[in-house]
Structure 1
């Protein structure tokens, strides 16, 4: 038991730490017993006790010292903080294994929260930093371990420990360890200890990288001409300029839908699935910290400047939203995270405290009163110029007027993130997983498109290189094949109608094969191309995509100027069938062979070949996997048009029709194309319908579009 004797106000010699101090200990912050913060109200950071083997004569007890946290993982108020810690077995709790439990105190310049015992005792609290590398210098010993008659007596003794450590570190010979290595007044041996204290592997990698860059820059003479690179070397460097896009998927199931994983890989992400079923202790806070630690481990593997994104489902989605909605700090818990997508977060929703500005993020099983998919964006106190972490939440059957609506409560406005919430009232939880019995294909497609845009923008799209072809470049190549001029015959064959018809048929077949080559294959996977264009061709024009014409989804990017191409292919099996659908007439096809026939015999040429036909682009909306074009098609009806006016003989009448073409893409391949127009207006213009007693118009509707 603790002896009933007065405590010394300070410990350690006035001249500074004496042998064996300072003692170096380091390690990542790990899970402890979960008692310090909950039972005692004293947050502690545990590190592995393995390094204690270097100091076999070190006594168990309470110590004081200084601590530094890896700044690439956690932004602390000061680079070096005072600390009081326990090394031993904690007799009050009868621990069987030795542990190192560190309590980080506020900077010495800040008021001490433990200065007085009057009223409830409070201790300094910081945000969770599980997984963060920590360096510790032991500077002195305070007391041995004791058992206590009550929890209150233990807490009071720890409060006194904090004050003893604080007063001991305020002495000049000890305060130098908190000053930093830049302080010239500190002795050289102290500055050497500080250099060790503030050196971390991730920061050291960054310093070495910067030193190499400075060295290479200084070794080159400004007047020296740059070395001439071979074409293959140029292409290799271009390929290396495309950084990896690391994407972690996590859910509460041991396995995850392989189709979703393959589709993310097909879009150019380096995908890893992290199963996180949680523990059986029914402690959401502990689960949250364990999930944070799991992601922090992945952050340790990143190179300097590299970032990652997370797509979370069900329980992990709820836990990660909780991590970002903690009100104690404005710092995001994952410094390298560039985007977070949460699908139907599933977790407890306690009633919000009237004094709190945050609540638990919404769950996925709230009843709905809405009938349409809706979205909202949370407010933020940051101006548009400040980069914010994009967070996207997809909710199923959620009441937009619920008290748990994150747009009004759950998003802490001091956080440097912007949250977008999308509601799918027609769907239930797990609607985006094809293997789930509640899979909703329509909601899943919409959510996929939204999630893909958030992820790609998080990695800098559209201003960065990507591992798959740009959808607009593919779409422009589609239009080149669709509306390009037909080849003309010369010589004697030009006057032979039979030869001319065969050549026109061959030309349509060739262009149809090119178009189908731009589309995904039917159950044959998507062939990805890691492309490196010849740098001499960069900036010479937009890239165009040329299909092989075999319908299997393979192809190559080519430069308009004929530059070289480097291919590094990877096949990802994505169950996506191509489809073209003319909505008013149901013309179209959905397999490579039928699509080839459709384009050869029905869709090409796009309108009758005459001098009066024009196709004009009116507007274009582009996304990461979707393009919507609004067009004006004008022609004279001199030939039958199977896709627009099937089985209608020529009328020689002028027609103007507004078309909307909605194209969706998968891994840089055209997957679905829906074409819409006002069929009643077309029928009126060719004389098959009249406007009398019918709510239809002719060309007047097009005039409104053009006005």
Structure 2
């Protein structure tokens, strides 16, 4: 979308013609920033180029970016070299308006070339490239150097893989000597794989190609984790805000409160096969037909069921709820106590629900809780009754608790008890309580 700023000003303020004026915004000072214009200003979808070595690319990945509201175009690397660099230079051509920007998601050798090219500040002179995501590049810029601050960069690397590291000094208009060494990518910090680089980078225990659905190297866990990070980076770079909470609330209303399947089923994606798993019992459904059957025939709940939301965390493509659940077990509940007839016992338990979204709809949901606590509360599990196999290894009491865990978190921090934990199950913890420090 091209905007003729001069004519806009002339029409709005005729007396300004012939004078020097400056365009300002209530949001930000830089007119190149995607947030410069009002949120109500009509916009085109952000332009996103996917680029890799092959002539064709993974159709699922392209469709997923499109479902998230991006105008996606595939740019094959071809023979690489100067021919490919010319393609990259052409992306900032005159067909883009003054206010339009774009992003690049690159893979393999193409990712290496994009990183090397845009690491040089002069190669993005008009600041139209806002985002550069590199998947398993075969070479990376100096991890101790600086990447241009006007580009949001994100790099996904393979732990244990050898990559080229390019060091090149540069000043505005001047490029210094270029030196490339080879290093092995070490695993990142903790389980998250975060690396301490000059630009955001993460490592994955996978093979190059792990994010491409049409390759044998595709790894669901690593691909989904990288996708979440990539989508968050893209949303931030282009100033996008997406309301994931509303569609999730509609799903919950239909399941637990209105008992209407229409809003529940309408909240699931049709782009991919959705699934729901209640992890401790492995109940739920895969695909729209199974979910329809599960929620219509096997998700009955007693009228006493009450849900209390304790916390909600919302990311770029997922929602995590911490919920206090209480009910009187007056009927069979196949999702939490399948095959167990009504016991008339009262139960309260903490439930964690992790919902992943695709294109603004629910893709999958994993629900977790402490099943031992539930069985304890209905009288199906006694911590003092020890199986013979457990006795042989020295267990004298099963380390489980009942409703206390859920009730304490619901009530919050108690100054008299100094928190929820009491360590009653840890042998020796309370020995010597009440003694002075000197004693």
Structure 2 distance, partners of 1:381, 1:313, is: 18
Unpaired runs of 5+ in structure 2? Answer: 16-37, 164-181, 187-193, 385-396, 413-439
The equivalent of 1:249 in structure 2 is 50
Q: Give the alignment partner of residue 639 of structure 1, picking from 323, 331, 337.
A: 331
Which of 370, 386, 409 is equivalent to 1:678?
370
Structure 2 partner of 1:484: 257
Cα shift at 1:212: 2.2
Q: What's the secondary structure of 1:442's corresponding residue? A: helix
1:520 corresponds in structure 2 to 269
Separation in 1 of the partners of 2:325 and 2:375?
A: 15
Q: What is the 5 A alignment of 1:651-666? A: 651-666=343-358
C-alpha distance in 1 between matches for 2:123 and 2:86? 19
Corresponding residue to 1:593 among 285, 289, 300: 289
Q: 1:635, 1:654 within 8 Å by CA — same for their partners in 2?
A: yes
Unaligned runs of 5+ residues in structure 1 are 1-201, 220-236, 350-357, 362-377, 412-418, 486-507, 522-573
- Alignment partners' CA distance in 2, 1:239 and 1:592: 35
Q: Which of 219, 223, 227 lines up with 1:444 in the alignment?
A: 223
**Counterpart of 2:132?**
340
Q: Aligned match of 1:705 in 398, 401, 409?
A: 409
CA contact (8 A) 2:51 2:74 kept: yes
Structure 1 381/259 Cα, relative in aligned 2: closer, same or farther at 3 Å? closer
Aligned ranges 1:236-385 → 2 under 5 Å? 241-279=42-80, 286=82, 289-297=85-93, 300-326=94-120, 332=124, 335-347=127-139, 359=142
In 2 relative to 1, CA 687–578 (structure 1 residues): closer, same or farther, beyond 3 Å?
Answer: same
Q: Cα deviations across residues 395-433 of structure 1 (Å, max 9, x unaligned)?
A: 12347999566999974xxxxxxx2111112x1001111
Matching residue of 2:247: 474
Residue 456, structure 1, aligned to residue 235, structure 2: yes
Matches within 5 A, 1:90-169: none
Contact 2:255/2:264, CA 8 A, preserved across alignment: yes
CA distance in 1, matches of 2:73, 2:147: 34
Contact 1:584–1:677 at 8 Å: present in 2 too?
Answer: yes
The CA deviation at 1:381 is 11
In the alignment, the residues of structure 1 paired with residue 325 and residue 196 of structure 2 have an alpha-carbon distance, to the nearest angstrom, of: 50
Alignment equivalent of 1:391, drawn from 153, 156, 163: 153
Taking structure 1 as reference, are residues 210 and 287 closer, same or farther at Cα in structure 2, changes over 3 Å only? Answer: same
C-alpha spacing 1:338/1:680, structure 2 compared with 1 (3 Å): same
| Residues 288, 322 of structure 1: 8 Å contact kept | no
SS at match of 1:296: coil
RMSD of the TM alignment (CA)? 3.2
CA 1:682–1:214 in 2, change beyond 3 Å: closer, same or farther?
farther
Alignment of 1:689 onto 2:381: yes
Deviation per residue, 1:314-356 (Å, 9 max, x gap): 1111111112434xx5885561122111100024x7xxxxxxx
1:582 is aligned, of 278, 287, 305, to: 278
Q: Secondary structure at the match of 1:603?
A: coil
Larger Rg belongs to: 1
TM-score under structure 1 length normalisation: 0.46
Distance 2:223 2:8 in 1: 47
Distance 2:147 2:66 in 1: 35
User: How many Å separate the matches in 2 of 1:381 and 1:263?
Assistant: 28
Q: Structure 1's 253 and 380: CA in aligned 2 closer, same or farther, altered over 3 A?
A: closer
Hey, what's the Cα distance between the residues in 2 that align with 1:515 and 1:343?
Answer: 35
Distance 1:214 1:587, change over 3 A: same
TM-score normalised per structure 2: 0.72
Q: State the 1:696 CA deviation.
A: 1.6
CA shift for structure 1 position 703 = 4.0
Shift of 1:259: 1.5
Query: Residue 337 of structure 2 aligns to a residue in which SS?
Result: coil
Aligned length in residues: 352
The answer to whether the Cα contact below 8 Å between 1:629 and 1:662 also exists between their aligned partners in 2 is yes
Partners of 2:156 and 2:52 in 1: CA distance: 14
